[in-house]
Structure 1
Amino acid sequence: MSTLTYPEVGATRLGPLPDGYHHLHHRAAVGRGRADFEAAGAAVTEWRMHRTSGTRVQASTARAEAGTTVRVSVALGPFRFTAPCEVVWTAYEKQRIGFGYGTRPHHPECGEECFVVDLADDGTVWFTVLAFSRPASWYARLAGPLVPVAQRWYVHRLGTALRRIVSAG
């Protein structure tokens, strides 16, 4: 049984993002051509992008599937934050691969985030992160305006890790 902590399940897949949350949108080119697209898609959905960025990931499946439970653990300086999530949608399409996951109880935030790789008509491989969130824990509320800064730092780090994975072939 799903125990997601927000009602707008799936909003990162089709939009629009719901009001009342901080919105995050990050897009970066990570490669070119079908081979890079396939490599990037596999790295995203098999948790390699997260792990290569230094994030600890414990997932109930080897590849993102709807219903997969995930515990993501990120270090910020001397602090480590663990974020329980659940995959709420996936895309394994000809020109789009990725997934969205939502927050579960004990996540410091409340909301949803997606990680998607697209193959554009010109051959560019784009990595996109789209998210909506608001504080759910006392320490996320206390951190206030630093949380969006940390989120932007994190998604930039993910994009850099994905670019490295793709360029390594």
Structure 2
Amino acid sequence: PVDLPALVEDILISLKHLPRAKDLDIQTDIPFTEAVVTDRNLLTSILQNLILNSINYHRPEGDSRWVRVRAKQQDGQLSIEVADNGQGIAPHVQERVFEMFFRGDKTSKGSGLGLYIVKKSLEKLGGRIDLDSTPGEGTCFTLTLPLEPSLSPESREVAGYHGS
């Protein structure tokens, strides 16, 4: 079981030293305390990638720069949003952003694997990811995971899940 508010806080602490995180308003809204039954390592990797992207691809300066992590439980699903008011993603890039080795920004130092890994990790957890982005306004990634996971036997063991 994963304490989601604590996990997000740990990720934010690990990233707050980054130069681009300076003067960035990082907000969280995770209004529940019950643990989420999922693979902690996969969920950490997913959220770390998305939050890091929100920081790295944000406008370098300007008023009211923010990144928000929000979660809610509804209809047997866990929904987590990682949103920002950064530079946004162009429509032609959005179509390919989850492809292996694809980099939307050729000046990026990244490998083009981050969002590919996010998508594949979510699939392993029985979840999905949706993208809503407007260039110049920002980006919102929405993760949807089942609250009763359909994990592989290996993932069940890692997650400490002993249900049916």
TM-score, scaled relative to structure 1 = 0.30
Structure with higher RCO (Cα < 8 A, 6+ apart): 1
TM-score, scaled relative to structure 2 = 0.31
Question: Which structure shows the bigger proportion of residues in strand conformation?
Answer: 1
